[in-house]
Amino acid sequence: KFGNIALAAALLVANAAHADNNGFVAVKDSHFERNGQRYMIAGANFWYGGYLGAPTGVGQRARLVKELDRMKALGINNVRVLAVSEKTAMKSAVSPATTSAPGQYDEQLLQGLDFMMAELAKRDMTAVLYLNNFWQWSGGMTQYLNWFTGSPAHDPNVSKDYERYMAENATFYTNARAQAEYRNVITKIVQRTNTVTKKPYRDDPTILSWQLANEPRPGNSKSTPQEKATYVKWIADTAHYIRSLDGHHMVSTGSEGLAGSAQDAQLYLDAHRTPDIAYLTYHLWPTNWGWFDPKKPDATWNGMMEKASHYLNVHVDYAKKLGKPIVLEEFGLNRDGGSFDIKASTKVRDRFYDEVFTTLEKRAAAGDPVAGWNFWAWGGAGRAANADYWWKPGNDFVGDPPQEEQGLYSVFDSDASSLKLIADHDKRLKTIGAK
Ligand SMILES: O=C1NC[C@H](CO)[C@@H](O)[C@@H]1O
Protein backbone atom coordinates (compact mmCIF):
# COMPACT_ATOMS: atom_id res chain seq x y z
CA LYS A 1 0.00 0.00 0.00
CA PHE A 2 2.83 2.38 1.04
CA GLY A 3 4.59 1.62 -2.25
CA ASN A 4 1.52 2.74 -4.21
CA ILE A 5 1.39 6.05 -2.32
CA ALA A 6 5.09 6.70 -3.04
CA LEU A 7 4.58 5.87 -6.69
CA ALA A 8 1.58 8.21 -6.92
CA ALA A 9 3.57 10.99 -5.27
CA ALA A 10 6.46 10.47 -7.69
CA LEU A 11 4.09 10.67 -10.65
CA LEU A 12 2.57 13.87 -9.27
CA VAL A 13 6.01 15.46 -8.97
CA ALA A 14 6.96 14.34 -12.46
CA ASN A 15 3.74 15.76 -13.90
CA ALA A 16 4.22 19.03 -12.05
CA ALA A 17 7.72 19.31 -13.49
CA HIS A 18 6.40 18.59 -16.96
CA ALA A 19 3.66 21.17 -16.52
CA ASP A 20 6.41 23.67 -15.63
CA ASN A 21 8.02 22.95 -18.98
CA ASN A 22 11.32 21.95 -17.36
CA GLY A 23 12.70 25.48 -17.41
CA PHE A 24 11.44 26.45 -20.87
CA VAL A 25 9.77 29.87 -21.12
CA ALA A 26 6.26 29.45 -22.48
CA VAL A 27 3.11 31.53 -22.83
CA LYS A 28 0.37 31.21 -20.22
CA ASP A 29 -2.63 33.55 -20.15
CA SER A 30 -0.90 36.12 -22.40
CA HIS A 31 2.19 36.25 -20.18
CA PHE A 32 5.49 34.35 -20.08
CA GLU A 33 5.87 31.63 -17.51
CA ARG A 34 8.91 29.59 -16.50
CA ASN A 35 8.86 26.80 -13.88
CA GLY A 36 5.39 27.90 -12.85
CA GLN A 37 6.46 31.51 -12.20
CA ARG A 38 5.78 34.68 -14.24
CA TYR A 39 8.86 35.46 -16.42
CA MET A 40 9.62 39.03 -17.49
CA ILE A 41 12.42 39.83 -19.94
CA ALA A 42 14.74 42.46 -18.42
CA GLY A 43 17.06 42.21 -21.36
CA ALA A 44 19.80 43.67 -23.53
CA ASN A 45 20.64 43.48 -27.21
CA PHE A 46 23.99 41.76 -27.60
CA TRP A 47 24.17 40.97 -31.32
CA TYR A 48 27.84 39.92 -31.18
CA GLY A 49 27.63 37.52 -28.21
CA GLY A 50 28.25 34.48 -30.41
CA TYR A 51 31.22 36.17 -32.06
CA LEU A 52 32.91 36.75 -28.68
CA GLY A 53 32.35 33.07 -27.88
CA ALA A 54 34.34 31.73 -30.83
CA PRO A 55 37.33 29.53 -29.82
CA THR A 56 39.70 31.28 -32.24
CA GLY A 57 39.81 34.25 -34.61
CA VAL A 58 37.35 36.95 -33.49
CA GLY A 59 36.60 35.07 -30.27
CA GLN A 60 37.25 36.91 -27.00
CA ARG A 61 35.93 34.43 -24.45
CA ALA A 62 37.43 36.27 -21.45
CA ARG A 63 35.56 39.42 -22.52
CA LEU A 64 32.34 37.47 -23.10
CA VAL A 65 32.47 36.00 -19.58
CA LYS A 66 33.10 39.47 -18.13
CA GLU A 67 30.27 41.03 -20.13
CA LEU A 68 27.80 38.35 -19.04
CA ASP A 69 28.89 38.74 -15.40
CA ARG A 70 28.35 42.52 -15.68
CA MET A 71 24.91 42.05 -17.21
CA LYS A 72 23.91 39.42 -14.65
CA ALA A 73 25.00 41.69 -11.81
CA LEU A 74 22.73 44.44 -13.18
CA GLY A 75 19.75 42.06 -13.19
CA ILE A 76 19.75 41.55 -16.97
CA ASN A 77 18.24 38.09 -17.54
CA ASN A 78 18.05 37.87 -21.36
CA VAL A 79 20.11 38.76 -24.39
CA ARG A 80 18.96 39.10 -28.01
CA VAL A 81 21.68 37.73 -30.30
CA LEU A 82 22.50 37.31 -34.01
CA ALA A 83 22.69 33.52 -34.49
CA VAL A 84 23.99 33.45 -38.06
CA SER A 85 25.54 35.86 -40.57
CA GLU A 86 26.23 35.68 -44.30
CA LYS A 87 29.52 36.58 -45.99
CA THR A 88 28.98 39.59 -48.26
CA ALA A 89 30.86 42.21 -50.26
CA MET A 90 28.68 44.95 -48.72
CA LYS A 91 30.90 47.56 -47.11
CA SER A 92 29.12 47.94 -43.77
CA ALA A 93 28.68 44.27 -42.85
CA VAL A 94 30.40 42.24 -40.16
CA SER A 95 33.18 39.79 -41.06
CA PRO A 96 33.85 36.96 -40.73
CA ALA A 97 30.41 35.45 -41.32
CA THR A 98 28.87 32.10 -40.45
CA THR A 99 27.80 31.22 -43.99
CA SER A 100 30.53 31.87 -46.56
CA ALA A 101 28.43 30.37 -49.36
CA PRO A 102 25.29 28.22 -49.53
CA GLY A 103 26.02 25.06 -47.55
CA GLN A 104 29.40 26.28 -46.26
CA TYR A 105 29.27 27.20 -42.58
CA ASP A 106 31.98 28.44 -40.19
CA GLU A 107 32.11 25.92 -37.37
CA GLN A 108 34.22 28.36 -35.30
CA LEU A 109 31.38 30.91 -35.17
CA LEU A 110 28.82 28.18 -34.51
CA GLN A 111 31.00 27.00 -31.61
CA GLY A 112 30.99 30.62 -30.48
CA LEU A 113 27.22 30.43 -30.21
CA ASP A 114 27.60 27.13 -28.31
CA PHE A 115 30.00 28.70 -25.80
CA MET A 116 27.75 31.74 -25.30
CA MET A 117 24.72 29.50 -24.72
CA ALA A 118 26.69 27.46 -22.17
CA GLU A 119 27.77 30.62 -20.31
CA LEU A 120 24.20 31.97 -20.33
CA ALA A 121 22.92 28.71 -18.85
CA LYS A 122 25.46 28.99 -16.02
CA ARG A 123 23.99 32.40 -15.16
CA ASP A 124 20.35 31.36 -15.54
CA MET A 125 20.02 33.82 -18.43
CA THR A 126 18.05 33.22 -21.64
CA ALA A 127 18.59 34.17 -25.28
CA VAL A 128 16.48 35.19 -28.26
CA LEU A 129 18.37 34.00 -31.36
CA TYR A 130 17.58 35.65 -34.71
CA LEU A 131 18.22 33.51 -37.77
CA ASN A 132 18.43 36.19 -40.48
CA ASN A 133 18.52 39.95 -40.98
CA PHE A 134 16.45 42.29 -43.15
CA TRP A 135 19.37 44.75 -42.97
CA GLN A 136 22.83 44.58 -44.54
CA TRP A 137 25.08 44.53 -41.45
CA SER A 138 25.23 40.73 -41.29
CA GLY A 139 24.68 39.95 -44.99
CA GLY A 140 21.10 38.86 -44.40
CA MET A 141 18.33 38.58 -46.96
CA THR A 142 20.26 40.81 -49.41
CA GLN A 143 23.11 38.31 -49.49
CA TYR A 144 20.78 35.34 -49.99
CA LEU A 145 19.38 37.13 -53.06
CA ASN A 146 22.88 37.88 -54.32
CA TRP A 147 23.74 34.17 -54.09
CA PHE A 148 20.64 32.97 -55.93
CA THR A 149 19.77 35.75 -58.35
CA GLY A 150 23.15 37.35 -58.86
CA SER A 151 21.56 40.71 -57.96
CA PRO A 152 24.28 43.05 -56.67
CA ALA A 153 24.21 43.22 -52.86
CA HIS A 154 23.97 47.01 -52.78
CA ASP A 155 24.66 48.50 -49.36
CA PRO A 156 22.04 51.16 -48.53
CA ASN A 157 24.69 52.93 -46.45
CA VAL A 158 26.41 53.55 -49.79
CA SER A 159 23.45 53.92 -52.17
CA LYS A 160 21.35 55.81 -49.55
CA ASP A 161 18.39 54.33 -51.44
CA TYR A 162 16.55 52.52 -48.62
CA GLU A 163 13.23 52.39 -50.46
CA ARG A 164 14.81 50.43 -53.31
CA TYR A 165 16.78 48.29 -50.86
CA MET A 166 13.66 47.29 -48.89
CA ALA A 167 11.59 46.54 -51.99
CA GLU A 168 14.37 44.33 -53.39
CA ASN A 169 14.85 42.54 -50.07
CA ALA A 170 11.17 41.63 -49.91
CA THR A 171 11.69 39.37 -52.96
CA PHE A 172 13.60 37.08 -50.57
CA TYR A 173 10.26 35.76 -49.30
CA THR A 174 9.26 34.33 -52.67
CA ASN A 175 12.66 33.22 -53.97
CA ALA A 176 12.45 29.41 -53.71
CA ARG A 177 16.22 28.77 -53.72
CA ALA A 178 16.87 31.46 -51.14
CA GLN A 179 14.12 30.04 -48.95
CA ALA A 180 15.54 26.53 -49.33
CA GLU A 181 19.00 27.65 -48.16
CA TYR A 182 17.47 29.72 -45.33
CA ARG A 183 15.64 26.58 -44.18
CA ASN A 184 18.88 24.58 -44.44
CA VAL A 185 20.46 27.09 -42.05
CA ILE A 186 17.44 27.00 -39.74
CA THR A 187 17.61 23.20 -39.69
CA LYS A 188 21.35 23.23 -39.05
CA ILE A 189 21.06 25.51 -36.05
CA VAL A 190 17.77 24.33 -34.55
CA GLN A 191 18.94 20.70 -34.78
CA ARG A 192 22.48 21.49 -33.61
CA THR A 193 23.99 19.84 -30.56
CA ASN A 194 25.92 22.30 -28.43
CA THR A 195 29.59 21.25 -28.61
CA VAL A 196 30.23 22.67 -25.12
CA THR A 197 27.25 21.35 -23.17
CA LYS A 198 26.62 18.36 -25.49
CA LYS A 199 22.93 19.32 -25.23
CA PRO A 200 20.79 19.60 -28.39
CA TYR A 201 19.63 23.19 -28.91
CA ARG A 202 16.04 22.07 -29.14
CA ASP A 203 16.28 20.59 -25.63
CA ASP A 204 17.92 23.70 -24.16
CA PRO A 205 15.64 25.98 -22.07
CA THR A 206 18.33 28.69 -22.27
CA ILE A 207 16.82 29.58 -25.64
CA LEU A 208 13.74 31.72 -25.03
CA SER A 209 12.70 31.86 -28.69
CA TRP A 210 13.86 31.34 -32.24
CA GLN A 211 13.41 34.58 -34.17
CA LEU A 212 12.76 34.58 -37.93
CA ALA A 213 14.97 37.59 -38.62
CA ASN A 214 16.05 40.97 -37.30
CA GLU A 215 13.39 43.52 -38.34
CA PRO A 216 11.78 41.66 -41.28
CA ARG A 217 9.63 44.08 -43.32
CA PRO A 218 7.00 43.31 -46.02
CA GLY A 219 8.77 45.66 -48.45
CA ASN A 220 9.18 49.45 -48.49
CA SER A 221 6.80 52.18 -47.33
CA LYS A 222 4.61 51.50 -50.39
CA SER A 223 4.23 47.76 -49.81
CA THR A 224 1.52 46.34 -52.05
CA PRO A 225 -1.36 44.10 -50.83
CA GLN A 226 0.41 41.21 -52.57
CA GLU A 227 3.70 41.90 -50.75
CA LYS A 228 1.80 42.11 -47.45
CA ALA A 229 0.04 38.79 -48.08
CA THR A 230 3.38 37.22 -49.02
CA TYR A 231 4.96 38.53 -45.82
CA VAL A 232 2.18 37.15 -43.60
CA LYS A 233 2.43 33.77 -45.36
CA TRP A 234 6.25 33.70 -45.06
CA ILE A 235 5.99 34.32 -41.31
CA ALA A 236 3.34 31.64 -40.81
CA ASP A 237 5.10 29.04 -42.99
CA THR A 238 8.57 29.64 -41.54
CA ALA A 239 7.32 29.67 -37.94
CA HIS A 240 5.46 26.44 -38.63
CA TYR A 241 8.60 24.92 -40.11
CA ILE A 242 10.65 25.79 -37.02
CA ARG A 243 7.95 24.38 -34.74
CA SER A 244 7.99 21.18 -36.81
CA LEU A 245 11.70 20.81 -35.92
CA ASP A 246 11.40 21.95 -32.32
CA GLY A 247 8.16 21.73 -30.36
CA HIS A 248 9.77 23.07 -27.17
CA HIS A 249 10.68 26.64 -28.05
CA MET A 250 8.60 29.68 -28.86
CA VAL A 251 9.03 31.39 -32.22
CA SER A 252 8.97 35.19 -32.70
CA THR A 253 9.06 37.44 -35.77
CA GLY A 254 11.58 40.21 -34.92
CA SER A 255 9.06 42.79 -36.18
CA GLU A 256 9.48 46.49 -35.31
CA GLY A 257 5.72 46.93 -35.06
CA LEU A 258 3.92 49.48 -37.24
CA ALA A 259 7.20 51.08 -38.38
CA GLY A 260 8.18 47.73 -39.88
CA SER A 261 4.69 46.95 -41.16
CA ALA A 262 4.21 49.86 -43.60
CA GLN A 263 2.21 51.58 -40.80
CA ASP A 264 -0.54 48.99 -41.41
CA ALA A 265 -2.04 47.77 -38.11
CA GLN A 266 -4.05 45.02 -39.81
CA LEU A 267 -0.84 43.68 -41.35
CA TYR A 268 0.95 43.73 -37.98
CA LEU A 269 -1.93 41.87 -36.35
CA ASP A 270 -2.23 39.34 -39.20
CA ALA A 271 1.53 38.72 -39.08
CA HIS A 272 1.28 37.75 -35.39
CA ARG A 273 -2.05 35.83 -35.50
CA THR A 274 -0.63 32.41 -36.41
CA PRO A 275 -0.45 30.10 -33.36
CA ASP A 276 3.14 29.30 -34.34
CA ILE A 277 4.16 32.85 -33.40
CA ALA A 278 4.01 32.82 -29.59
CA TYR A 279 4.36 36.53 -28.83
CA LEU A 280 4.55 39.96 -30.44
CA THR A 281 7.72 42.02 -30.79
CA TYR A 282 8.22 45.72 -31.47
CA HIS A 283 11.07 48.24 -31.58
CA LEU A 284 11.22 51.99 -30.85
CA TRP A 285 13.65 54.27 -32.75
CA PRO A 286 12.79 58.00 -32.36
CA THR A 287 15.91 59.36 -34.10
CA ASN A 288 15.90 56.80 -36.94
CA TRP A 289 12.21 57.56 -37.57
CA GLY A 290 12.72 61.33 -37.62
CA TRP A 291 10.82 62.00 -34.40
CA PHE A 292 13.86 63.34 -32.51
CA ASP A 293 16.90 65.45 -33.39
CA PRO A 294 19.71 64.88 -30.86
CA LYS A 295 21.18 68.23 -31.90
CA LYS A 296 17.89 69.98 -31.04
CA PRO A 297 16.74 68.09 -27.93
CA ASP A 298 14.67 70.86 -26.37
CA ALA A 299 12.85 71.60 -29.61
CA THR A 300 12.08 67.96 -30.44
CA TRP A 301 11.69 66.20 -27.06
CA ASN A 302 7.97 66.85 -26.47
CA GLY A 303 6.86 65.82 -29.96
CA MET A 304 9.06 62.77 -29.78
CA MET A 305 7.82 61.63 -26.38
CA GLU A 306 4.21 62.07 -27.49
CA LYS A 307 4.80 59.79 -30.49
CA ALA A 308 6.92 57.33 -28.47
CA SER A 309 4.36 57.07 -25.69
CA HIS A 310 1.61 56.41 -28.21
CA TYR A 311 3.78 53.82 -29.98
CA LEU A 312 4.53 52.04 -26.71
CA ASN A 313 0.89 51.91 -25.64
CA VAL A 314 -0.81 51.12 -28.93
CA HIS A 315 1.32 48.01 -29.44
CA VAL A 316 0.45 46.72 -25.98
CA ASP A 317 -3.17 47.22 -27.04
CA TYR A 318 -2.52 45.15 -30.19
CA ALA A 319 -1.08 42.39 -28.01
CA LYS A 320 -4.19 42.50 -25.80
CA LYS A 321 -6.29 42.13 -28.92
CA LEU A 322 -4.41 38.97 -29.91
CA GLY A 323 -4.21 37.68 -26.34
CA LYS A 324 -0.44 37.23 -26.63
CA PRO A 325 2.53 38.70 -24.71
CA ILE A 326 4.54 41.52 -26.27
CA VAL A 327 8.24 42.39 -25.86
CA LEU A 328 9.82 45.75 -26.67
CA GLU A 329 12.97 44.02 -27.89
CA GLU A 330 14.78 47.10 -29.17
CA PHE A 331 14.80 50.77 -28.20
CA GLY A 332 17.53 53.39 -28.06
CA LEU A 333 18.55 57.03 -28.28
CA ASN A 334 21.74 58.96 -29.03
CA ARG A 335 24.29 60.24 -26.56
CA ASP A 336 23.83 63.96 -25.78
CA GLY A 337 24.22 66.14 -28.84
CA GLY A 338 24.29 63.06 -31.03
CA SER A 339 27.91 62.45 -30.06
CA PHE A 340 29.56 59.05 -30.66
CA ASP A 341 32.24 59.85 -28.09
CA ILE A 342 32.13 57.57 -25.03
CA LYS A 343 33.05 60.63 -22.95
CA ALA A 344 29.82 62.39 -24.02
CA SER A 345 27.06 62.55 -21.41
CA THR A 346 23.82 60.60 -21.72
CA LYS A 347 21.31 62.81 -19.89
CA VAL A 348 18.68 62.83 -22.65
CA ARG A 349 19.06 59.10 -23.31
CA ASP A 350 18.68 58.33 -19.60
CA ARG A 351 15.49 60.40 -19.49
CA PHE A 352 14.15 58.55 -22.55
CA TYR A 353 15.00 55.13 -21.07
CA ASP A 354 13.28 56.14 -17.82
CA GLU A 355 10.12 57.19 -19.70
CA VAL A 356 10.07 53.92 -21.68
CA PHE A 357 10.64 51.74 -18.62
CA THR A 358 8.02 53.63 -16.58
CA THR A 359 5.41 53.43 -19.34
CA LEU A 360 5.83 49.67 -19.69
CA GLU A 361 5.90 49.11 -15.92
CA LYS A 362 2.60 50.95 -15.66
CA ARG A 363 0.98 48.73 -18.30
CA ALA A 364 2.48 45.59 -16.72
CA ALA A 365 1.19 46.61 -13.27
CA ALA A 366 -2.27 47.02 -14.83
CA GLY A 367 -2.11 43.36 -15.89
CA ASP A 368 -1.54 44.10 -19.58
CA PRO A 369 0.52 41.56 -21.62
CA VAL A 370 3.84 43.42 -21.27
CA ALA A 371 6.48 40.68 -21.16
CA GLY A 372 9.54 42.90 -20.90
CA TRP A 373 12.17 44.73 -22.87
CA ASN A 374 15.69 44.62 -24.40
CA PHE A 375 17.51 47.96 -24.67
CA TRP A 376 19.71 48.47 -27.76
CA ALA A 377 22.49 47.80 -27.07
CA TRP A 378 25.16 46.45 -24.75
CA GLY A 379 28.55 47.98 -25.60
CA GLY A 380 30.19 46.98 -22.31
CA ALA A 381 33.98 47.02 -22.43
CA GLY A 382 34.04 47.45 -26.21
CA ARG A 383 35.53 50.68 -27.56
CA ALA A 384 35.42 52.45 -30.94
CA ALA A 385 38.79 51.94 -32.61
CA ASN A 386 38.88 54.66 -35.26
CA ALA A 387 38.68 58.44 -35.29
CA ASP A 388 35.73 58.27 -37.71
CA TYR A 389 33.92 55.79 -35.41
CA TRP A 390 33.43 53.27 -38.24
CA TRP A 391 34.07 49.56 -37.61
CA LYS A 392 36.82 47.67 -39.45
CA PRO A 393 37.54 43.91 -39.30
CA GLY A 394 39.57 43.18 -36.20
CA ASN A 395 38.14 46.09 -34.21
CA ASP A 396 36.22 45.57 -30.96
CA PHE A 397 32.56 44.70 -31.25
CA VAL A 398 30.23 47.18 -29.54
CA GLY A 399 26.43 47.45 -29.33
CA ASP A 400 26.31 49.23 -32.70
CA PRO A 401 26.73 46.83 -35.64
CA PRO A 402 29.16 47.75 -38.45
CA GLN A 403 26.60 49.77 -40.42
CA GLU A 404 26.50 52.45 -37.75
CA GLU A 405 29.02 54.60 -35.91
CA GLN A 406 30.53 52.69 -32.99
CA GLY A 407 29.02 54.67 -30.15
CA LEU A 408 25.76 55.74 -31.76
CA TYR A 409 23.42 53.84 -29.42
CA SER A 410 25.76 51.61 -27.37
CA VAL A 411 25.53 51.54 -23.58
CA PHE A 412 29.13 51.15 -22.40
CA ASP A 413 30.43 49.87 -19.05
CA SER A 414 31.47 53.46 -18.26
CA ASP A 415 27.92 54.82 -18.71
CA ALA A 416 27.25 54.59 -14.96
CA SER A 417 23.99 56.59 -14.90
CA SER A 418 22.50 54.47 -17.71
CA LEU A 419 23.54 51.19 -16.10
CA LYS A 420 22.07 52.20 -12.74
CA LEU A 421 18.80 53.20 -14.39
CA ILE A 422 18.65 49.88 -16.24
CA ALA A 423 19.39 47.92 -13.04
CA ASP A 424 16.73 49.79 -11.03
CA HIS A 425 14.04 49.25 -13.66
CA ASP A 426 14.99 45.62 -14.31
CA LYS A 427 14.44 44.98 -10.62
CA ARG A 428 11.13 46.87 -10.61
CA LEU A 429 9.86 45.04 -13.67
CA LYS A 430 10.58 41.66 -12.18
CA THR A 431 8.78 42.53 -8.93
CA ILE A 432 5.72 43.60 -10.92
CA GLY A 433 5.85 40.30 -12.76
CA ALA A 434 6.21 38.36 -9.55
CA LYS A 435 2.82 39.47 -8.21
O1 LIG B 1 17.85 46.10 -35.74
C2 LIG B 1 18.27 47.26 -35.74
N3 LIG B 1 17.45 48.27 -35.39
C4 LIG B 1 17.91 49.60 -35.12
C5 LIG B 1 19.37 49.59 -34.78
C6 LIG B 1 19.84 51.02 -34.50
O7 LIG B 1 19.63 51.85 -35.60
C8 LIG B 1 20.14 48.96 -35.93
O9 LIG B 1 21.53 48.92 -35.65
C10 LIG B 1 19.67 47.51 -36.14
O11 LIG B 1 19.74 47.19 -37.50
Question: Ligand 1 center to residue 228 CA distance, Å?
Answer: 22
Binding pocket residue ranges, ligand 1, CB within 6 Å: 135, 214-215, 283, 285, 288, 330, 376, 401, 404, 409
ipTM over the 0.95 cut-off:
yes
Centre of ligand 1 from the C-alpha of residue 308, in Å:
17
DSSP 8-class letter at 204: -
pLDDT at 17: 47
Q: What does the pLDDT look like over 269-293, one tens digit per residue?
A: 999 999 999 999 999 999 999 999 9
Axis-axis angle for helices 347-365, 416-434 (nearest 10):
0
Structure confidence at residue 43 (pLDDT): 98
Q: Which of 85, 214, 215, 397 to mutate to test the pocket of ligand 1 (most atoms within 8 A of CB)?
A: 215
Return the closest-CA partner of residue 80 out of 432, 431, 328.
328
Cα–Cα dist 116/411, whole Å: 20
Q: What is the pLDDT of residue 295?
A: 98
> 330 C-alpha to center of ligand 1: Å?
8
> 332: helix, coil or strand?
coil
pLDDT in tens, 361-409: 999 999 999 999 999 999 999 999 999 999 999 999 999 999 999 999 9
CA 22–ligand 1 middle distance (angstroms):
33
Task: Sort residue 116 into left (φ over 0), alpha (ψ -120 to 50) or beta.
Answer: alpha
Question: Residues 32, 41: contact at Cβ < 8 Å?
Answer: yes
Q: Are strands 26-28 and 31-34 parallel, antiparallel or unpaired?
A: antiparallel
Strand locations in 197-321 (E): 207-211, 250-252, 280-284
Regions of the chain short of the pLDDT cut 70: 1-2, 7-21, 435
Ligand 1 centre to CA of 197 (Å) is 31
> Quick one: which atom of ligand 1 is closest to the CA of 214?
1
**209 contacts 248 by C-beta, under 8 angstroms:** no
